[in-house]
Amino acid sequence: MSIDTLIDDFSFLESWEDRYKYLIELGSKLPHFDEEKKKEEWKISGCQSQVWIIPHFDNDMLYFEGDSDAIIVRGIIAVVLEIFKDKSVQEIFDIDVEEIFDKLGLREHITPNRRSGMLSMVDKMKYYASQKLKE
């Protein structure tokens, strides 16, 4: 799935309830982390829920996997992972996730706490990208 596909999918959903259900569906497709992956070093601070994001580097590409203990947040993670999927380190650093969330119609519908948590996830992912750029 691409960002454009996500935008198209969300644009067909007329109500927030439908978008909410789709967000839950996206999150349900993420594999759950086993306890070994739920380390403090991967935990994202600034989230009300427990969130873990693990980076994986492959040359100039950066891949992520993520999990949460909350179903809506898992959906947000799924969207953010899709936004950063198959992107170079530089592309990850340059992406405006809030603009994409606007296009998805999610920015105005997720709670301020979830939005803050999403931004914390994105900040941490961009931090990983910036560390790779410094190498």
Please state the φ and ψ torsions of residue 21, each to the nearest 5 degrees. Answer: -65, -40
One of 23, 47, 73, 100 is an active-site residue; which one?
47
Q: 47 catalytic, yes or no?
A: yes
C-alpha separations of 20 from 16, 27, 69, 132 in Å:
6, 11, 17, 34
- Spatial distance between the Cα atoms of 96 and 114, rounded to a whole number of angstroms: 17
Q: Residue 52 is inside which H or E element, if any? A: strand 51-58
The CA-based angle 74-76-80, given to 5 degrees, is: 115
What are residue 33's DSSP bridge partners? none
Please state the φ and ψ torsions of residue 78, each to the nearest 5 degrees. Answer: -60, -40
Active site residues: 47
